[in-house]
Every structure is written in structure tokens, then in C-alpha cells.
Structure 1
């Protein structure tokens, strides 16, 4: 049984009746069986967990549809603290707003999107994953089967505009952009908790080797030194053991500001990440770092996405 109204087994029906009894002191007229079942399904019909969530946040929300325009998504958005924050938001949403997400339509996804999605996917419940639709080149046609053209902004293929004719409906959609420098964090620490710390003697270096099987993989890194600068770079070992520069080795004042970044790897092979202290004749350097290799999952090159043929009334627009 799906656990939805009209499709309950005997145990689920009993749990629904018990749930009503448990929360009757805070129930309101708008809290019908359909709403209560949302909370029960979100906690797999666990009465204690469902009651705790309902008492904390028992508001009635019909549902939301999101359109995510990833036309400006760049590799730098795979910054680990940003991904971690996004996953925290997803977890909070699923825990406190159960069953309110109707559908997510992702448009203009870049080639590396499967890799980016793989970083978020483990934090999504299965019922949430099924509501995510990544649209191909025909995304405008698909959106118009889901959203009335009078509501859909003109720059997404609809007919809605601002009173001044702005096709992006800027009065309704908060557009993205650069983060103001006033919001920058000072004295920032590394975000990863799984740091490796090494001492690099004067005149020496350490090299970390990674075997990459799939093109389009990404090496993501964070590092800081404790007292002095360090040189950092990435190379690929060629067919004849020659070193191909991927990221030029240069010195970083990572004792003042931690360094982080991502490098996309276009070819399979062995890659070498290097922390270089050969230029220093007198000082040993201590470096703390976190480096991970992210490989894209196998995906269907021409996926067929299932969408609900009914028009969706509640539309939340995010860009």
C-alpha cells in the first residue's frame, strides 16, 4: 500500500486513527486525513516521530513546484561548503515540510551536472528523487505542459512579464549574482573535518597520486599551512611518463587564507597533486589538506522523463 488516502492497509489505518488521537489537542479544521498522512509517510508511519514533527511544524501547505535554471552553473559551484549547506537545506526541508514538494524541473543543466547531482543525491529521500526531472533541449515545451503560459515567465517560454515588459519577471524572481564582499567570511577555517596533516621538510615535496578512470571527473581540494606559504600544483602523467600541467604549480599564502578549488579532468589517467617546498632552504612547512576525487556516474545520454500531464497551479520560481 502507498500509505495515501484510499490506499491504506489495516496497520496504516490504525496508525492514522492513533495519530489523530495523539495530536487532537493541536489539530485544526484544516488538518484533514490527507494532511496527517503526509506527516506519517514522512516518518514511515512512526507515531512518535510523526507527532514530534507535527507539533513542531503542523502547518498546511498544498504543494510547491520548483523550476531550477542551471544555465549559469559553473564548476566553482561545487565548492564543498556550498554543497554542504545545500544538503543541510534539503534535509531540513524534508524533515519539517513533508510531502509539500510536487515536482522539480531542472533546465539548462551543464555537462557536469550528473557529477554535481551525485553530491546531493545521497541526502535525498527516494520519494523526493522521483519528483526531480532533468529536462533536455525541449525543456520549454515540457514546461508548457506543466505550467500555464500566462504564469510562466517569457524567458522560459511563457507569456508572463513584469509591468515594464521585463521577460525575466524580476519583480517576482530573485535573480542570482555575485555575493557582496561585505558578506565574505574573515579568518575562515577549512570546512572538511577529515583533514590530513603532513610536515614537508625544507627542500622537499609530497606527491599524491590519483588514478582517474572516467573523463569529466573532478579533483576538489582544500588546504592551509600553519606558519608559512607552500607551492601547490596538479599534473597528469602522459603516455611516456611525461608530466602534463593541469594546474600550474605556484606558491600560496595559505597560512593567511586557506585555499580551495576544483579542477575538471578531461582525460582518464594518473594525476599527481603536489605540495612543493623545494624552494625553501631553511623552513619545514606543516600543511593540513583535504583532497577528493569525484567521478561522474553513468547516465543515459537521451533520458526519457515522466511528467504529470495536469497543469500545476502553485509555482515557486527560483533562478
Structure 2
């Protein structure tokens, strides 16, 4: 039986000619590819104008096969015949390969193609496909298949999975998803979001993988710092929200998307801000977004097709100038900013109904803060225009149109009304509540400067205790160290950079190790230094051997000068060079456990 495999399109952000120069460096052998042992030229032809080059090679490979299998087959290496056709004029390289070893038992036929990216002439695409036909092979058919096709299977998303949970993806889009997921798996130690979540950030940046990775990492750090993953289990809305927040979920639209209804015109925004504060309102809106994600997953199962976003219906009947109260608008803009940054591509459609004459004023205030792709999903109806052709019935089934919009379906969204002034809180009470809300996180953040590491002191009374840590590198590269000292460091000294005009937020850069201390005499290193790159999430632990004082240190890491100079330009295709700024940032959490409590 013949099995076929197709890998996603890979995109190299380098010109075709540069990629070809790098490709040729693997012959006759290449230390960067240990499996590729050697190669011999069999036939080589070049056209008169040198625009077409054809070469056939016999390649010697050291495949990752079990020793027993190699012994039974009587081989140490596997030989492949490779035929390359390079067209300089069309800027394409076609590669056709087939196995010479085992050819009477296993037939592997591989086709590869390098070509210019259709949308950017300075980029190069790589496509790869293969067919595998395994005959009787001493009972090792399944082993041979796994060895021969391991690379193809690891890089291919199942077509049924894509159709069922992700929707239609082009080969380039699928490639971006695989590459970003693979990067997250390497840097976040397996703790990565679902494909649907990654895909939202890719779509928000038109599948620009660098831009998507940047905003996704920022969002993952934000979620971790404020424990947003646990929000639905930990957040309990105050009673005033149940009574006066005029929003709620209501069935689904014609596309199966969860439908959220917000009667903004009936909402007393000033009263809610005065009674709850900006942070409580933000926390409530975040819980709505988290609930929306959960409902999308449920509807994906119900409708047996990917549902990745929801529809929001905003009724503006009753909207007037009191809704333009400045602190209320400020709170609205803050909410929009946070939602846009952390929930991209979750809004499928926004239906704005019964927009009054004051609406253009509100729209002028908020529209600059809304992403252009999101604005394209807005449909605005004035007066009763939503009731005619092209109106609400085009998007929502008639039987679930709410009664207050002329339908027959009872809607449980609160009608709102004015929040009693007796529920208003003083500015001091609101400030204390807001501080409590955003200091509930177990994580702390710190800035690390060149020459000014951040250090954390942990006193250990009982030997064999376990120091655990969990930190994210939000910006720059850092070196993580753990030291032990028998004597306590002096109180934290002032950030020395402040005298040079560099100001860091108070308390987020602490230095404990005195410059007069000598390593090996005043303090000692108890773990090997760990270099951590931007975007990485690091978890670990250390079992203490002695009582005393342990110092966790995050130190600025600069790239060695030799790493950024004197490299042949062709090698840039195979290496990414990072230029660090003079400031790094980490977010961390530590805990000390007894050895009996540590798992």
C-alpha cells in the first residue's frame, strides 16, 4: 500500500539566490546535518547560457534506525539518488529523490521545490512531498515506516483536524501555525495555548509570524500575571453588576456563533463606575470574553464545524450625552485597549442598532482605539432600519430576536436603570479596591539593566527545603543564577542607574550582593548559570543543602562580540542574530516548600 505525505509550505525570509548558496554548502558533506555523511556527483550538465543546471548525486545517509534493524538488513548507511534541476531564469529548484538501499523492499519517492514567494520576491518558499511503499521487510514494516516518514508526519497537521476545528487554511497559513506552535513548544516548556488561540493572533497580524509572536507572548505574560486562565472559577460579579449591567448571552446567530447582547443605552455608566471602579468593570468584561471563548468551544462541538468568534448586538436606544461622562469614556477606552490586545479575532460581527444622533460623537472618541480589521465587522443601523431587508433577520433567526427589538423571544438581559447613589463609593475606597484586584496576582515583575541585575533573597531555616521558581522573560535575554551565603546581605541599595537619568519603577529592581563580596568566599554558586531567551517560560527547583541565605539573580545577558561579526552573509540564512537592548524584564513567582511537600 502506498502512503503519501505533504509537508506545509515553509517560508525563508531570504532571496532565492542566497538560499541556493546556503543549500549548496551541504555538499559533499555538512557538519550542520550529521545525518548527511557524504555525496558523490554522478552526472552534471549546464546549459550554454548557464541559466539551467542539472546535477545527479548519490547521497550517503546515517539514518536513525535501531541497531538490530541495521544488522538484519546488513547495512550501516542508506544511499539515496538525488536529481536537482536549477533554473536561474525562473528562480526555481526542483529536487527528485529515491532510495537505492532497500529498494526491493521499500520504495521512497520524494519531491521538493524551492521557489520565489508569490507575494514577496525577496522571500523563498520550500515545498516537500513524499510517497512510501513498504513491502515485506522481515516484519519491520511499521518500524521502517516510522523511520522513513518521521519528518513528514511531525510537520503535517491532519486535514480532518483542520477542517473540524480550525477552518480553511492555505498551505502558507498552516505553515505559519506550525512554526509558531513549534517555537512556543521550545520556549514555553510545553505550556502552550490551543491552536485556535494561536491562530487568532496570526490572523490579527495577517499571518506575519514575527508580529503575531510578539503580541501573543505579551498576551500570554499578561494572562499569567493576572491569572486570567482561572478568572471564570475565581471571579464573582458584585450584585450591582447583576442588577444594573445591561448585558448577557442570548442563544446564537445564524452562523452558530454565541450571541451577546448589550443594551448600552439603558446602562448607567457613571453609576457603575462610581459604585464599582474601573478595574472591577474591566474584570467583569474579561470574564465575559473568557465565557465567550468557552461558548465557542461548546458550539464547535454542537455544530461540528469551527466556531472561533462570537456576535455582539449593541442596542443604543436611550444613549445620550450622560453616557459621554469623561471618567466613563476613559474606562471604556481602557477596556477596549485591553480586549483588543488580548482577544484578537474573537469578535465575528458587531450589530449596532438604533444609533441615535449622539452616536457619531461617541464613535469619534472610541474608533481610533479599535483595530481596523475589527472596525470592518461593524454594522450600524439608525432608527428602525434594522427591521427591514438586510437587517437583523439576515444574521439572527427570527424566533430568537429579543422582544425589546420587536421579536417574540424573551431576553433575560437586565433592563438596567440608574444605580442608586447609596451604592456609590468614595475615591479612596475605589482606589483600595483596585489595588487589591491587581495585586492578587502571585507574580512580580522586575527590570534588569546592564550592570544592574535583579536579586531576590530567600532565607532557609531547615536544610533540604526546596526553592521553586516560575518566571517568564518578557523582554531581552537574561542569565539566571542561584547563590548561597551564610550571612545576610545588606538592605537593598538604591538603583545606581537612577543617577544617570535612567528611572525604573520603584521596587522593581533590587540588588543584594555587595560589590565587595568575593565569589567563593562571601557567597557561592549552587546551580549552573542558565541562559534564558526572550519569550521563554522557565520553571525549576533547587533542593537546599545548607541553611542560610539564598539569592536568586536575574542578570542582563549580552551577546558576545564575535557572535555578531565576521559571519559570511550566506550563514545568516541558517542563524538568527539577536541584538539586545540595555534593559530586560522578567515576571516571576517563587515558593519554598518542605521536602516532604515537594512533588
Higher relative contact order (CA 8 A, sep 6+): 1
Could you say which structure has the higher helix fraction? Answer: 2
TM-score, normalization by structure 2: 0.27
Q: Which structure: larger Rg?
A: 2
Normalized against structure 1, the TM-score is what? 0.48
